[in-house]
Amino acid sequence: MRILVTAGPTREYLDDIRYLTNASSGRMGYAVAESAIAAGWQVVLVSGPVDLAPPENCEYIGVETTEQMRYASVDAFPGCDGVIAAAAVCDYKPLARVTGKLSKTGGPVSFEMIETDDVLAELGAQKEHRWVVGFALEAQNPRENAVQKLRRKNCNWIVLNNPSAIGSASNDVELLDPTGETVAHWSGNKSDVARSLIEWLDQQ
C-alpha cells in the first residue's frame, strides 16, 4: 500500500512579511503518516510549515502555500493507492499580494479575499480506482456539514472532528461514510487515533 498524506496548515501572504494561516500543529497528519509507516505502508507526506520532524522512511515534500500543496499532492496522487487529507489548508488568500512590506498609515486597511484552491476536491475528482479520506473540522451542524463535504469532494470516508483538535495532542473523531453513518469512533491521543484509522483502512 502506498498512500499520500497531507498535514499541517498552509500560509497565504498579504505582503512579503505577513500571512494568513491557522493554528494547526500538524500532529494528526504526522501521526497518520507514522502509523501507516509502522503498518508497512509507503507514505508520501506533503506538509505545510510545522514544528515537527518528518517521520523516518517516508517521502517528504515540504510546502508553504495552498497552491504549493495542491501541485505537490496532485503530482504525487497518481502513484498512490489512496490519500488521507489531514491538512488544514488556509481557505482564503488576498486577491493581490502587496510587494514588499505594507506600512502603517494610521487608518484601516482592507484586503479583497478570494478562495484558495480546493486540494481535497481536486484529489476526489481524480481518484478513479483510488480511495480518499478527508477531514472535516466543524463547529456548527457538524455531521450534516461533514457529510455534505464528503459528497461534494467525492471522498470515500470523512473524519469528523471539532475545533478543540487544533493544536491539541488528543482528538475525538467519528469516521463517516457517504450515507452519513458512523462506521467508527475513536478518542484519545492523536497517535492512538491515527493507529486505529490505519488499522481500520487496512481491513477494507
CB atoms within 10 A of CB 143: 14
In percent, how much of the chain has pLDDT > 90?
A: 92
At 164 the pLDDT is 83
Q: Is it the case that residue 108 has pLDDT exceeding 90?
A: yes
Per residue in 145-197, pLDDT (tens digit) is 999 999 999 999 999 998 888 888 899 999 999 999 999 999 999 999 999 99
Per residue in 7-20, pLDDT (tens digit) is 999 999 999 999 99
Question: Has residue 137 been placed in a domain?
Answer: yes
At 26 the pLDDT is 96
Q: Is it the case that residue 53 has pLDDT exceeding 90?
A: yes
Q: Is it the case that residue 51 has pLDDT exceeding 90?
A: yes
141 is catalytic: no
Domain containing 133 equals 2-94+112-202
Marked catalytic residue, from 22, 145, 154, 189: 22
- Give the mean pLDDT of 29-53: 98
- Contact between 190 and 34 under an 8 Å Cβ cutoff? The reply is no
Strands 131-137 and 113-115: unpaired
Average pLDDT, the chain: 96
Number of domains in the chain: 1
Look at residue 117 and give its three-state secondary structure: coil
With a CB cutoff of 8 Å and minimum separation 6, the contacts of 192 are 186
- Give the mean pLDDT of 74-100: 97
Indicate which CATH number applies to the domain containing 146: 3.40.50.10300
Q: Is it the case that residue 21 has pLDDT exceeding 90?
A: yes
